[in-house]
Structures are given as C-alpha cells and as structure tokens.
Amino acid sequence: MLETEEMSERDLPPEIVRRLQVEELWARRLVLAELMNVERLRLYNRRRAEVWPASFASTEFTWKELPARPAASIVPIKAKKSLATGT
C-alpha cells in the first residue's frame, strides 16, 4: 500500500492503483526469476564439479589450436529476370 503524508493509495483513481499493483507484481516476478536463475546456476556448477573431474581423470587430452577460419567472401546475387513483358 502506497502511503505518504500528502496522499495515500485510496486517493488515487482506480486505474492508477491497478497500474501500481501490476508494476509491483512485475517487480516481484523479476526478483523471483533472478533468485531462481541464481539457484539453478549454483546447482549446475555443483553438478558439473562432481561429474567432470571423474570423467576426465581417465582420459588424456591434448589441446590443439582451432583451425583458422577461412576469410569471408562476398557472393554476388544472381540478377533476377524481369517479369514485365516487352510492351
């Protein structure tokens, strides 16, 4: 509930009150989504730390440089034939 010395939420038109409620709910949703993402990331990192070292312990890897990408080239667009007849 919005309360100040000058006015309260009861003094506002219903449309404005509804907009304030929607904004508050949206802000709560964003905070909740952020908390859920942080928790998911924490769980992912924990699982990855448990699984990866065990799977890589028995295998030797030699890291090689990635192959160089070929330079970008420009491919011309074929000219389209005109649909207009010679009139």
pLDDT at 27: 95
pLDDT tens digit sequence for 70-84: 777 777 777 766 666
pLDDT for residue 33: 95
Listed in sequence order, the residues at least 6 apart from 9 whose beta carbon sits closer than 8 Å to its beta carbon are: 1, 2, 3, 17, 20
62: which 2 tokens? Answer: 């030699």
Residue 75: its pLDDT value, please?
Answer: 72
| pLDDT (0 to 100) of residue 25 | 95
Report the phi/psi class of residue 72: left, alpha or beta, with left for phi > 0 and alpha for psi in -120 to 50: beta
Q: Is the pLDDT of residue 9 over 90?
A: no
Structural domain boundaries in the chain: 12-52
pLDDT tens digits along 29-70: 999 999 999 999 999 999 888 877 666 655 565 666 666 777
Distances (CA, A) of 82 to 76, 77, 78, 79, 85: 18, 15, 12, 9, 8
